[in-house]
Amino acid sequence: MKKLLTFFILLLIFTSACTATPKKSTLPKLALENEIPIVVIHGSGGNEDSFDAFIQKLNDLPDPSTETLKVTIAGDGQLDYQGTLTKDAKHPIVSIGFEENNAPIEDWSKGLQKLLTHLKKTYQFQQFDAIGFSNGGLALTDYAEEYDQKEDVPHLRKMVVLGAPFNELDPEDNQVNLDFKGVPFQTDELKTYIRNRSKLNPQLAVLSIAGDDGSGEKTDSIVPLGSALSSRLIFPENVHTYLEKITTDTHIGLVDNQEVVGWVHHFLTDNPPLNTEKKVELVGN
């Protein structure tokens, strides 16, 4: 009986190894310079599969992405890809997983720079859109301020931050009304984003989405509303478009919320002429 059980365990391991998508560090080069990929970044503890349900809901809407490329970024910057893109890719999605998924935000930002440098060399991407959940939104913000100006990366066109804790998680530091123009206490992290905001691309469009769990505590159960919406202390004066939304949901629910998916889809597919006037929409105002 033990021999039979051992056989089946070994067979299962062998089958899993054969059917798992192999990872590779190189990709065939293609000319996709006219495509704008959507890069998605998980929060702490997540991986390249964390956005699967969100991506599926997004692709159920008009003008979907036709291909998804997954990539794991190791702590040393090694890029391990699952799959590849083809010449027929439309609005391809690049779903990122950080191997060190609780590393400092700055490490994620550097890893993102390395990935985007490689994607530009491989696919000739000139621009990209991005969605960052929780700390993934902070990594995007750090990237936008520190690396987006470099010539060896595609430039960030539109970014969505979902429940990003710009002023960390202390409720007392974030006790605000929705029309707030400042928070009771700025953390060092928020101060850094504010100090570097002048580096942002003035043509960038930003959508900041916060969750309210309905408890009356002005929180999504993890991130206070005042922290998630402290994005308004960073972006409005320094980008072309800045929009805010609040949905009734918990923190983790933001990545599986149909209303959020609809907002993100509209934001990414709405392409007004470049000469349109600057646009800022704040909740509570």
The structural domains of the chain, with segments of one domain joined by +, span 25-281
Q: Can you give the pLDDT of all 285 residues of the chain as single tens digits? A: 434 334 333 443 444 444 445 566 678 999 999 999 999 999 999 999 999 999 999 999 999 999 999 999 999 999 999 999 999 999 999 999 999 999 999 999 999 999 999 999 999 999 999 999 999 999 999 999 999 999 999 999 999 999 999 999 999 999 999 999 999 999 999 999 999 999 999 999 999 999 999 999 999 999 999 999 999 999 999 999 999 999 999 999 999 999 999 999 999 999 876 678 999 999 987
d(CA 222, CA 134): 10
d(CA 39, CA 117): 13
d(CA 170, CA 191): 15
Domain 25-281 fold = Rossmann fold (3.40.50)
Please, are residues 72 and 97 in contact by the beta-carbon 8 Å criterion?
yes
pLDDT at 24: 65
Identify which of 234, 65, 236, 242 has the alpha carbon closest to the alpha carbon of residue 141.
234
For tokens 């349900």, the residue is 53
- The helix-helix angle for 135-146 and 105-123 (nearest 10°) equals 60
Pull the structure tokens for residue 81: 């890809």
Verdict on whether the full-model pTM lies above 0.95 = no
